[in-house]
């Protein structure tokens, strides 16, 4: 038997069965009407019972294949968990970043990053303010510096400003002197230069060239060492500089980030708002800039 013959017979058989079913329902309906009209409701009750049982069986089958409510609930919970997870994947620092960006946008020139990797722009200039001592700082930092130094005196401490703005020649002079000192100790020029760069920045890479940085110590102390952190005058500066817009630019535990070992004497002006933000969030200027995406 070929395929065409098979389908022809199948169709014929289906038609026959259909006819039989139709005939059965016709007869059944006639029987139902006849009995009901005669006041015999047994066929009607039987029909209704069969229909009810049929509906129950169908709903039972549907329920078997339908996921139950608990499962549905679990699915909802799963979706919720997934939403939480994707929220977690969202940048956890987004608020901090936004605050950081807002502060930066207001004070870009004060928040300039200068370090071993990032040098000053070639054409960098600033409005200079000459202090009584002859030291020069950026005019933008002057009022707050004046207030800080006065508050220091009022608190009974005495300070010395060791270094403020340095021009390129001064920075080069510091490098040359340091190299010479190491060479006098027997190091080769190359070794001496390498050794020098451990503590001194190359020309164009020192914060002192910005006019926003100052080295401050207690009056009469001229050697700069980490021990200064336990000096009472220095403690006053470390504890109070934030309120005047300064930060301890090279903190103790952040040398791996700043690239410079702890300098409790080096203060950098960034403006009061940025200083408070950075101190509150324990951020170096490098970290502040990475939050900006720089």
Q: Is 220 exposed, middle or buried, given 0-12, 13-18 or 19+ CB atoms closer than 10 A?
A: exposed
**Residue 180 or 199 having the CB closest to Zn ion:** 199
**Residue 166 or 289 having the CB closest to Zn ion:** 166
Q: Are 286 and 105 in contact (CB under 8 A)?
A: no
Please give the residue whose beta carbon sits closest to Zn ion in the complex.
266
Nearest CA-CA partner of 155 in 101, 98, 234: 234
> Phi and psi for 102 in degrees, rounded to 5?
-65, -40
**Residue 193 or 265 having the CB closest to Zn ion:** 265
Q: At what angle do helices 3-37 and 42-65 cross, to 10 degrees?
A: 130
The C-alpha atoms of residue 137 and residue 1 are separated, in whole angstroms, by 106
**Residue 163 or 242 having the CB closest to Zn ion:** 163
Q: How far is the CB of 164 from Zn ion (least distance, A)?
A: 9
Structure tokens at 115: 């370090």
Total chain residues near Zn ion (CB under 5 A) = 2
Q: Which of 166, 266, 268, 289 binds Zn ion (CB under 5 A)?
A: 266
Q: How far is the CB of 141 from Zn ion (least distance, A)?
A: 14
Structure tokens at 250: 């090279």
Query: x/- contact string, 208-237, with Zn ion (CB under 5 A)?
Result: -------x----------------------
Can residue 160 be called a binding residue for Zn ion (CB under 5 A)?
Answer: no
Residue 51 parent element (H or E): helix 42-65
Nearest CA-CA partner of 274 in 149, 101, 117: 101
**Residue 215 or 276 having the CB closest to Zn ion:** 215
Q: Are 178 and 200 in contact (CB under 8 A)?
A: yes
Q: How far is the CB of 238 from Zn ion (least distance, A)?
A: 14
The stretch among 72-80, 125-133, 175-183, 258-266 that binds Zn ion (CB under 5 A) is 258-266
> Phi and psi for 133 in degrees, rounded to 5?
-75, -10
For the segment 97-126, give every residue that binds Zn ion (CB under 5 A): none
Q: Are 228 and 265 in contact (CB under 8 A)?
A: yes
The C-alpha atoms of residue 169 and residue 72 are separated, in whole angstroms, by 75
Q: Which residues contact 7 (CB under 8 A, 6 or more apart)?
A: none
Q: Are 291 and 283 in contact (CB under 8 A)?
A: yes
**Residue 202 or 215 having the CB closest to Zn ion:** 215
Q: How far is the CB of 215 from Zn ion (least distance, A)?
A: 4
The catalytic site residues sit at 263
Which residue ranges make up the site for Zn ion (CB under 5 A)? 215, 266
């Amino acid at each position: 038997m070929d395929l065409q013959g098979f389908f022809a017979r199948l169709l014929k058989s289906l038609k026959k069965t259909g006819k039989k079913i139709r005939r059965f329902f016709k007869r059944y309906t006639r029987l139902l009407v006849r009995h009901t009209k005669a006041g015999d409701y047994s066929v009607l009750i039987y029909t209704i019972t069969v229909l009810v049982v049929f509906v129950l069986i169908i709903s039972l089958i549907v329920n078997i294949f339908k996921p139950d409510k608990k499962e549905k609930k679990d699915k909802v919970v799963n979706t919720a968990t997934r939403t939480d997870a994707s929220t977690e994947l969202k940048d956890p620092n987004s608020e901090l970043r936004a605050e950081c960006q807002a502060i930066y946008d207001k004070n870009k020139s004060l928040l300039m990053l200068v370090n071993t990797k990032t040098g000053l722009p070639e054409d960098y200039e600033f409005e200079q303010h000459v202090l009584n001592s002859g030291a020069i700082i950026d005019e933008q930092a002057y009022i707050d510096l004046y207030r800080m130094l006065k508050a220091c005196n009022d608190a009974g401490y005495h300070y010395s400003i060791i270094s403020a703005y340095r021009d390129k020649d001064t920075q080069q002079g510091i490098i040359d002197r340091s190299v010479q000192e190491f060479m006098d100790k027997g190091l080769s020029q190359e070794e001496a230069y390498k050794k020098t760069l451990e503590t001194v920045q190359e020309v164009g890479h020192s914060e002192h060239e910005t006019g926003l940085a100052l080295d401050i110590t207690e009056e009469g102390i001229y050697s700069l060492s980490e021990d200064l952190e336990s000096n009472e005058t220095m403690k006053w500066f470390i504890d109070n500089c934030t309120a005047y817009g300064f930060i301890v630019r090279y903190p103790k535990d952040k040398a791996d980030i700043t690239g410079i070992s702890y300098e409790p004497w080096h203060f950098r002006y960034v403006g009061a708002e940025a200083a408070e933000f950075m101190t509150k969030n324990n951020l170096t200027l490098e970290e502040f800039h990475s939050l900006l995406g720089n």
